[in-house]
Structure 1
Amino acid sequence: MNPGSVALALINDTNMQACEVYETAIAYAVFGDAHLDLHDPWYDLRLCAVNENPDADAKGFSVRTPYGLDDLVAADTVIVPSVPDAVVSHGEPLPAAFIEALRTAAARGARVVSLCTGAFALAEAGLLDGRRATAHWTNTADLAKRYPKAEVDGSVLYVDEGQVLTSAGMSAGLDLCLHLVRRDLGAHVANQLARRLVVSGHRPGGQAQFVDLSVPATEDDSLGPVMDWAAHHLDQALTVDGMARRAGMSTRTFFRRLQAATGMTPLKWLLNQRLSRAQALLETTDLPIERISEHSGLGTAANMRRHFTLHVGVTPTDYRQSFGAIPPARRGA
């Protein structure tokens, strides 16, 4: 499977602010560094700048690249890591040629992605009209006011609308990039890459942008061991009461602290872990669906199919056909 070409779209005729450098670096770390030991071929990333000759006197960073808007239009995936602060704060216009290039790329079928304030560029191109979208929570009110045709949700990490995807700022941009790898190359590759980058393998897009992390460290210390234990015993009948007892907490306290630490209820966290385990087994083993559902704690094959269809978007069989490394003739299902 060839993951295709990625154009990282840079507004290079203005000063690059710190957040732009951060999100540009995130996308480059995921798609630009060739992780050929995880999947060969890897993505073909090109830095595509609006202005190929940035102002040498501009403060901050500038990028010199041989790739321009023609390369952006031809890419399979276009990522806008952010836009200059003046666009967001003062409504300064984005280059018309850049906006037209985004429209052309989308019209020819490219997947178009924004990180943080890059959503303003997608909205200006009309790509968010009638679609759910997000950005950093400090900017979503302005985004919704300026582009009322977009359905802006300022509470989530990222939104996947199929061809058009948007994320909140900072670490949420990394979550969306890993989500794209998961979509393209499967959960196993995405999880291995996340481990290499020392980040969580999968944070669902619907998780809140900001969660209460004010629990004292001495109280949080007991969460890590019990969460690790649960992740290694997913085939067992785990309950919130049992996990709380193992953590030495009341059920109510355990529920509150895990939700504060992860943004999810304990049962939702368990389901997310079980789906991730099932995805990995579908990709890397020839176990029958029934056995995988048992090993991951999802119960029956019918229950696993129901959860996959609802949360992953495809059946386990279709997922295995797309991402499984075991030849079909050797599979048990």
Structure 2
Amino acid sequence: MREILTEIKEKALSNIKEVMNLDELEQMRIKFLGKKGELTLVLRDMGKLSPEERPIVGQMANEIRNEIEIEISTIRDMFRNEIKKAKMEKEKIDITVSTNKKSLGHRHPLLSTIEELEDLFISMGFSVVNGPEIETVENNFNALNSPENHPSRDLSDTFYITEDILLRTQTSPVQIRAMKEMGAPLRIVSAGRTFRFDDVDDTHSPMFHQLEGLVVDENITMANLIHTIDIFIKELFGKDMETRFRPHHFPFTEPSGEVDVTCFKCMGKGCDACNGTGWSMELLGCGMVHPKVLENCGIDPEKYSGFAFGMGIDRITMVKYGINDIRLLFENDNRFLKQF
């Protein structure tokens, strides 16, 4: 048996030196040291040896196994180093190469629209405030006079983190925080991301952007709201743009309305884009702040009144730049973004 072991050793060491890659090396390991390998099969017959020969042959077998394993390990390290060296050579970047080619970035159309809106309202005397995207149910629904059975509270409409914490569905909680912290009088706008469950298509996304405004002071009326919206629309889209207010219902404002603007394609004459009405789709919602909302924020509704408005920044961006698919705003395709 000692002769057989010596023969296996010489054969293994010779074959291992001839392998060309890691796969062949692994096949050699299995061939000689695996469960059904040549050395393993020989060792299974050690029971046939005499008690005197058994420890001698066993020691010899272990030494041969160690020699084979060391040789395999050495060859394996060599192959791995060669692979690593080739990979580093392939991925090497020559940082000494100079180039005059420069690619300058620019504002995303959404960010440009947000900044333009904020600058416009700042020029009208508003302050810009921000708030967290993860909100409490209290600020997002309760303080805004949203009834317990309102559909927007459903799990199918809102992303809840816990029973009391959620991803804000609107930027209105920023108004709640501002009224609680600053009191009245107040004149603010807030812009940012909001989240509602929605199937993605060319006009809907579960993540979108809103800008909301709030004015609270003594003797604020619906006339102040209409005048503010008219100025905003004309400053943003042009002096020839007209507005149309339609009654609507929001739990946090009373009375409430939605605002349409002149069709951007036909400028009010009537066309296929506006179904001959001369008016574009609803651009924003607004209304007088509900007295309960003021009370919830510690403001006396007998002394103060206010108005609020909110609009989808994504929609305004699409109208402003002639974009027909909201998904283009979030795909980060340079071929699209370079147009702006």
TM-score range normalised by the length of the shorter chain = under 0.3
TM-score by structure 2 length? Answer: 0.25
Q: Which structure has the greater CA radius of gyration?
A: 2
